[in-house]
Amino acid sequence: MRTVFFVDDEPLIARGMSSILDWEKYGLQPCGQAGDGVQALERLGDTGADLVITDIMMPRMNGLELIAELKKHHPNMRFIVLSGYEEFEYVKVGIRLGIENYILKPINIEELEATVRRIGEVWEREEASRIRQQEDRRVLRSHVLVRWTQGEIGREELLQRAVLLEIPTDCGEYRVDVIRVLEGERRAESSAQAGRAGAPAEWQAAGGAGRAGMPADSAAVRPSCLAEICEALLAAAEPGAAAICFADADDDIVCIRCRSAAGTPRQASSGAALPEDDPLAEAARKLGRRAGAAVWLAGGGSSPDMAGVHVRFAEAQAQLRRLLPAGERQLWVSGPDTAPELQGSSLSWEERLLGGAAEAAVWLPRREPVNAAVRLMLESVRTDGAAEPAEPDYGGLYAPLQRIRTLEELRRHVRRFLRGDSAAGAGPAAAGPAHSAHVAFLLEQIRDHYAEELSLKTLSQRLDLHPNYLGQLFQQETGGNFSDMLNRRRIDRATALLLHTNRRTAEIGAEVGYTDNSYFYRQFKKYTGLSPTELRSAYGGDSGFVLAGR
C-alpha cells in the first residue's frame, strides 16, 4: 500500500487529515505528520512518502520550499498543496514544481477525493507501463540469450545487446551447462508439498524471497521460475562471478557463468563432467528438491570468449540427445566425454522395455531403446486388424518420444500404447482435462489447420482477445506455448510424409506450413535432431522408425 504524509502548522488540521478520507479506499495509508517544512523534511528525508499533502504558509520553511527540497531526494513523490489564499504566484510556482492540485481551505472533500483518485489512476498507468517494460526487457533478454547459445547472433550485435541487458562482455571464462528436470521422475505430491511450504530456505537465503515473479506455490516449479532460483543460488554461491540462467525452448535451464580471468582456471573446453561439489551441482540438487524431481546436469564446458558459448552449449545439448538415464538417481551429471554404460544383459531392448526388472543407475545410449520402442508400437499398429492407409500419419506416435527423458518413462509410454491407452500416442489436441473454449479453438486450429498461416496475433483477432492474454491462457491450460505446439504438429506430419512418400523435401515443407525451405530445415532438425535428408536417408526404407532426437 502506498503512503500519504500531512504537513500543516495548525495541529488540528495536520491530525485531522488522517481521518478526513477513507484513505485505504484509494490504496493509501497515513504514515505521519509534521507541523512545518523543516520538521517534515527531517521526518521524510530518508524514508519519503508516495503522496505529501502540505499547507503553503508555514514558519521556517513554506510548503513550496519543502516540495523543492523533497524532489531532490524523492523525484517520484507527488504533492497536493493546501492554502487559505488563492494567490496566482503560488499557483505558478506550484505548477512549475509539478504539484497535482492546489486546493483552497476550507478543503472541498469532493475535490480532494477527485484529486486522490486521479493520482491513483496515474500510479496504475505507471505501474502497468513498468510491468510492460520489464516484460519487454525479459523477452528481449531471453531472445538474445537463445540466439547467443544457438550461434545465431553476430559479435557486434551481441556486444551492443549485452551492454543494454547488462551481460558481462570482458570475462576470462564463460562456463556453459544445462539443467534438465526429468519430468518422468517428478513426484506430484512432492511438488504440492513444496508449493504449500513456499520457497525453500536456501532460496530465501539467496535473496530471492521477495523477488518479483516468484510465487510461493506449486507454480514455482515452472522452468522460468526455476531458472530465476538457479541464478540467485549461483549469485550467492559465487559472488565473484556473474550468473545468467534462462529456460530454453525445451524447458531446460541454460546456465552461463561469467568469470574474470583472475578467477578459476581457464579452459577452452572440458570433456569431463562437473564435479558434484561444484556450486551448480549443489544448485541443481536444490532445484530438484523444489520441483520434486530428479535432475540432469549436462556440462558443456568453458570458453575464454563470448563467441565460443554456442559451441559449449552444443556440447551440452549433444549429451541430452544421445544419452538416456536409467535407474534411480536424484542428480545425474554428464560431460562431453560421458559414454553409455553397456550392461551385460542377454535381453533385447524390446524385452527390456516390456520387462519389469529395475535397471541399475547407468547411462544408456538413447537411440537403441527408443528405436526399439518405435518398433514395438509400429508392430502393434500394423497387427491390430485395421487396414493401414497409404500414407499413415505416425506423428502422434513419434511426437511423445521426443519429450521422453528417462528409460522408465519410455517403458511406461510403450506399455500404455500397447494397452491401447489413447493418452500414450496422443497428438497436440489429445483428450485430456477440459479446456476453455478459447484454448480448445487454438488446439483445433493446430490439429486441423496446421498447414495454414497460424499465429496468436491473427487468431486473437478472431476471438477478440489480446494476443498476450491468449498466449498466457494457452500456456496455463496446456503447459506449452502455441508456436512450439504448432511446430511439433507440423514436424510430426512432415516426418510421416518423408518416411512414407517419395515427394521432394521442399514440397513436404510447404505442405505442412513452411514456405521458407531453410527455415523448415532448421525447425525439423531442432525437433528431431536430424535434417529431413538425414532422416529419410537413414530411416526412409521399410524400417518405418526414426531416430530419437530431442
CATH number, domain at 34?
A: 3.40.50.2300
pLDDT at 382: 63
Domain end: 65, 86, 107, which one? Answer: 107
The percentage of residues in the chain with a pLDDT greater than 90, rounded to a whole number, is 27
Banded pLDDT at 107 (limits 50, 70, 90): confident
**pLDDT for 509-526, tens place per residue?**
999 999 888 889 988 888
Question: Does 94 lie in the same domain as 6?
Answer: yes
- Asked whether residue 146 is assigned to any structural domain, the reply reads no
pLDDT at 184: 45
401 or 396, which is more confident: 401
- Rounded Cα–Cα distance for residues 375 and 381 (Å): 10
Q: In the predicted model, what is the mean pLDDT of residues 124-150? A: 82
- Asked whether residue 344 is assigned to any structural domain, the reply reads no
Banded pLDDT at 270 (limits 50, 70, 90): low
Question: Does 355 lie in the same domain as 329?
Answer: no
Q: In the predicted model, what is the mean pLDDT of residues 86-98? A: 75
- Asked whether residue 150 is assigned to any structural domain, the reply reads no
pLDDT exceeds 60 at position 549: no
- Asked whether residue 503 is assigned to any structural domain, the reply reads yes
Sign of CA dihedral 226, 228, 231, 237: negative
- 109-150 vs 155-165: helix crossing angle, rounded to 10: 150
pLDDT at 343: 60
95 or 69, which is more confident: 69
Q: In the predicted model, what is the mean pLDDT of residues 363-374? A: 87
- Asked whether residue 391 is assigned to any structural domain, the reply reads yes
Question: Does 310 lie in the same domain as 370?
Answer: no
Domain end: 289, 305, 334, which one? Answer: 334
Task: Indicate the length of the chain as a whole number.
Answer: 550
Question: Does 324 lie in the same domain as 370?
Answer: no
399: CATH = 1.10.10.60
- Rounded Cα–Cα distance for residues 439 and 308 (Å): 41
Question: Does 374 lie in the same domain as 226?
Answer: no
Concatenating the DSSP letter of every residue in 348-360 gives: -HHHHHHS-PPPP
Q: How many domains does the chain have?
A: 3
What amino acid occupies position 11?
P
pLDDT at 272: 75
Of 260, 171, 271, 186, nearest in space to 226 by CA:
186
Question: Does 103 lie in the same domain as 39?
Answer: yes
Banded pLDDT at 355 (limits 50, 70, 90): confident
What amino acid occupies position 331?
L
Question: Does 447 lie in the same domain as 503?
Answer: yes
pLDDT at 192: 38
- Asked whether residue 196 is assigned to any structural domain, the reply reads yes
Calculated CA dihedral for residues 19, 23, 25, 29, nearest 10 degrees: -130
pLDDT at 248: 85
Q: In the predicted model, what is the mean pLDDT of residues 33-55? A: 89
Banded pLDDT at 334 (limits 50, 70, 90): very high
Q: In the predicted model, what is the mean pLDDT of residues 359-367? A: 86
- Asked whether residue 117 is assigned to any structural domain, the reply reads no
CB 8 within 8 A of CB 107: no
**pLDDT for 223-234, tens place per residue?**
888 899 999 999
Taking CA 131 as the corner, what is the angle to CA 201 and CA 437, rounded to the nearest 5 degrees? 95
In DSSP terms, which residues pair with 53 in a beta bridge?
A: 6, 80
Question: Does 321 lie in the same domain as 276?
Answer: yes
148 or 102, which is more confident: 148
Question: Does 493 lie in the same domain as 366?
Answer: yes
Q: In the predicted model, what is the mean pLDDT of residues 107-119? A: 91
Buried b (16+ CB within 10 A) or exposed e, 143-164: ebbbbbbbeebeeeebeebbee
In a 3-state reduction of DSSP, which class is residue 292?
coil
Banded pLDDT at 342 (limits 50, 70, 90): low
Calculated CA dihedral for residues 496, 497, 499, 501, nearest 10 degrees: 140
Question: Does 417 lie in the same domain as 328?
Answer: no
For the chain, what is the mean pLDDT?
80
Question: Does 369 lie in the same domain as 330?
Answer: no
- 437-448 vs 467-478: helix crossing angle, rounded to 10: 90
Domain end: 84, 107, 130, which one? Answer: 107
Banded pLDDT at 216 (limits 50, 70, 90): very low
What amino acid occupies position 134?
Q
pLDDT at 206: 41
396 or 123, which is more confident: 123
Q: In the predicted model, what is the mean pLDDT of residues 166-186? A: 83
Question: Does 194 lie in the same domain as 87?
Answer: no
Q: In the predicted model, what is the mean pLDDT of residues 262-279? A: 66
- Asked whether residue 499 is assigned to any structural domain, the reply reads yes
Cell of 333: 551429471
Task: Supply the range of the domain harboring residue 449.
Answer: 349-539
pLDDT exceeds 60 at position 5: yes
Between 49-53, 302-306, 430-434, the lowest mean confidence (pLDDT) is in: 430-434
**pLDDT for 407-442, tens place per residue?**
999 988 888 888 876 444 444 334 345 677 788 899
pLDDT at 203: 41
- Rounded Cα–Cα distance for residues 104 and 86 (Å): 7
pLDDT exceeds 60 at position 546: no
Please state, in angstroms and as integers, the Cα–Cα distance from residue 220 to each residue in 112, 207, 216, 229, 244, following that order: 42, 16, 6, 9, 18
Banded pLDDT at 449 (limits 50, 70, 90): very high
Taking CA 131 as the corner, what is the angle to CA 126 and CA 136, rounded to the nearest 5 degrees? 125
